[in-house]
Amino acid sequence: MFDLLIASLQSLDWTVLLALCAASFCAGLIDAMVGGGGLIQVPALFGLLPTVGHATLLGTNKVSSVVGTGFAAYRYSRAVPVPWNAALPATAMALLGAYVGAYVVTQVSTQTLRLLLPVLLVAVAAYTFLRKDLGSVHAPRLNVQQERLYGALAGLLIGFYDGFFGPGTGSFLLLAFVVVFGFDFLAATASAKLVNVACNVASLAWFAPAGHVLLGLGLLMACFNVAGAKVGSGLAIRNGAGFVRKALLLVVGLLILRTSYDSYWPLLKPLF
């Protein structure tokens, strides 16, 4: 088994491997703070491995992401009190939502969602920017039963979105835990990491049995993703909620640029 993994890596150019490992480190760093690591890692895979099928690249991305996000979730759980009343139901329902979403995406087109996503991200950025005190204080506003119910709904809906499409999932989760539940950015990030792990596991449950995973490459990238997650989670925990807010605005801004280009440039290109 180990020999097969090594052989699969030897078939790739070392410069490609180096670039993918660097991208995975950066993705892990950003994702551990506010989500959005796919903004770096997915385009790197698609750009550097153009002959590999899309489903296989997405499956390989999930191998790396689930390990890095799992490490970040563990790191946060050791350093930040996790609001389990909301986080556990959200995590459990995200498994179901992401698996169903991964199935549905094979049956219908995502074009409408692609066009709407930049608009949704602009709304997220505007709301976060205008609310200067957003996420600065941990002041839960729901009772125990409400936290469990809303946590389950958030996990199901955002988990479905992650399996169906994906970009910005971490940012949407983070904002949901801050706005709906009243958590500060650190508690919200810790909760979002747990839900993200569930989303990645559910997606892998769809991709892996179908053979859509380059396991050797995915495990190598996972090592660098964990290294990035260690640095990113450390920065967030050490610098607090204000730092996470600024990082969220930066990442959402980059997501707006990327998703706008992906969604609208193919429509506008024939005009030029």
- Answer whether residue 117 is part of any domain: yes
Question: Collapsing DSSP states into helix, strand and coil, what is residue 267?
Answer: helix
Task: Classify residue 259: in a domain, yes or no.
Answer: yes
Position 185 in a domain: yes
Cα 189 to Cα 136: distance, rounded to the nearest angstrom: 13
Query: Could you write out the DSSP letters of every residue in 102-165?
Result: HHHTTTS--HHHHHHHHHHHHHHHHHHHH-TTTTSS----S-HHHHHHHHHHHHHHHHHHHHHT
Place of tokens 């640095």: 231
Q: Please, what's the b/e burial string for 196-214 (b: 16 or more CB within 10 A of its CB; e: otherwise)?
A: bbbbbbbbbebbeeeebbb
Centroid of chain to Cα 114: 17
| Domain span including residue 8 | 2-263
User: Residue 133: which pLDDT band, with cuts at 50, 70 and 90?
Assistant: confident
Q: Name the region of 135 (left: φ>0; alpha: ψ -120 to 50; beta: rest).
A: left
Residue 95: per-residue pLDDT: 94
Residue type, 49: L
Residue 57 domain flag = yes
In a domain? residue 270: no
Q: How many residues does the chain have?
A: 272
98 inside domain: yes
Given pLDDT bands bounded at 50, 70 and 90, which one contains residue 8? low
Closest CA to 94 of 130, 123, 125, 69: 69
CA end-to-end distance (rounded Å), the chain = 51
Report the b/e string of 231-262 with b at 16+ CB within 10 A.
Answer: bbbeebbeeebebbbebbbebbeebbebbbee
Summarised one tens digit per residue, pLDDT across range 166-178 is 777 888 899 999 9
Instruction: Tell me, yes or no, whether 87 lies in a domain.
Output: yes
Give yes or no for a contact between 250 and 30, defined as CB atoms under 8 angstroms apart: no
Looking at the domain assignment, is residue 84 inside a domain? Answer: yes
Our count of domains for the chain comes to 1
pLDDT at 102: 78
Cα–Cα distance measured from residue 105 to residue 30, given in angstroms and rounded to the nearest whole number:
26
Condensed to tens digits (0 to 9), the pLDDT of residues 32-76 reads: 988 878 778 888 888 888 888 877 888 888 899 999 999 999 999
In this prediction the pTM is 0.84
